[in-house]
Chain A
Amino acid sequence: MHPFILATLGGWLIGIAAVMMMGLKGRISGVSGILTGALTEPADERLWRLLFVVGIIIGGAIPVALSVDFKPPEPDASVLIIIIGGLLVGLGTGLGSGCTSGHGICGISRLSPRSIVATCTFMAAGFICVYLLRHVFGVL
């Protein structure tokens, strides 16, 4: 199947997951926030968040178990870049109260001004970062 068709189907699934979470549990499905809460909330608020995170790992594993075509290549980055990138993604989504799912999907769907500004900002930062790495420094 063409990547754009798979992307559209996958997008629908991400949307369905967000609507399920809201309709059933009354929460936005922001991965960075739920992941943080799974570690820092009081014990009785931790389990559902942990299950959501475990669910993502299971859901990510299923297509690959069915067909190796779904297995992506390993990220092409040195250990140092992985550490800097991981820290920036964690600090940034923690500080900015959300990531691609919480701001980009759930927040924009609620027309939240914070999420619209955050999404435009992190997209722009991503564009600039890749532009500099690939076309100015030629390292990516």
Chain B
Amino acid sequence: MSHQKAGKLISALASGIVFGLGMAVSGMTNTDRIQGFLDIAGQWDPTLAFVMGSGLLVTFIGYKFVLKNPTPLFADTFAVPTRTDIDKALLIGAIMFGTGWGLVGYCPGPAIAGLSYGYSSTLLFVPVMVLGLLLAKPLGKLL
């Protein structure tokens, strides 16, 4: 295995671990907290706002630094999304996602980070979510 390839795989695993740690430490794997955040008319739980705020701050500043490099450490180019159009799929998708997020209190990251807790609802949610992800492409063609 080449040096670059090994670096690529180790960085993906390491980023995933730090990401999952962040999900579990921040309380985002707790669906009560998420639904509490989304409940602006009730007893609003601002925890998610702290997670988003601090996550955005670090990412915003960190991206500025790393994107100054000519290339990533273990890849030839930065593969950053370039689309800027606001299309129907983006809006309909976001509405569907937000509705499912409100229904259960899981978005994809925390649902995966919570898999090891062994709850039957999480173990059901994740494969159904994966099925949805795979069906999204054919559905998108119908729009």
B32: nearest chain-A partner, CB-CB = A73
| Contact A6:B62 (CB < 8 A) given known A60-B115, A83-B128 | no
Flag A77-119 by CB within 8 Å of B: 1 or 0 each. 1010111111111111111110111011111111011100111
Tell me the complex Cα distance, A91–B114, Å: 20
Instruction: Give min CB distance, A43 to chain B, whole Å.
Output: 13
Q: Which residues of B contact A19 (CB under 8 A)?
A: 58-59, 62-63, 65-66
Instruction: Give min CB distance, A107 to chain B, whole Å.
Output: 7
* Contact assessment for B39 and A130 in the assembled complex, using a CB-CB cutoff below 8 Å: yes
Output the residue of A15, A105, A126 with the most chain B CB within 10 A.
Answer: A126
* Contact residues, B35-85 vs A (CB, 8 A): 35, 38-42, 46-48, 50-60, 62-63, 65-67, 69, 71-75, 77-81, 83-85
Whether A42 is near chain B, meaning CB under 8 Å from some CB there, is: no
The count of residues in chain B whose C-beta lies closer than 8 Å to any C-beta of chain A is: 116
A59: nearest chain-B partner, CB-CB = B20
Tell me the complex Cα distance, A60–B7, Å: 23
* Contact assessment for B96 and A25 in the assembled complex, using a CB-CB cutoff below 8 Å: no
Q: Which residues of A contact B9 (CB under 8 A)?
A: 47-48, 51
Flag A57-79 by CB within 8 Å of B: 1 or 0 each. 11111111000001111111101
Instruction: Give min CB distance, A6 to chain B, whole Å.
Output: 6
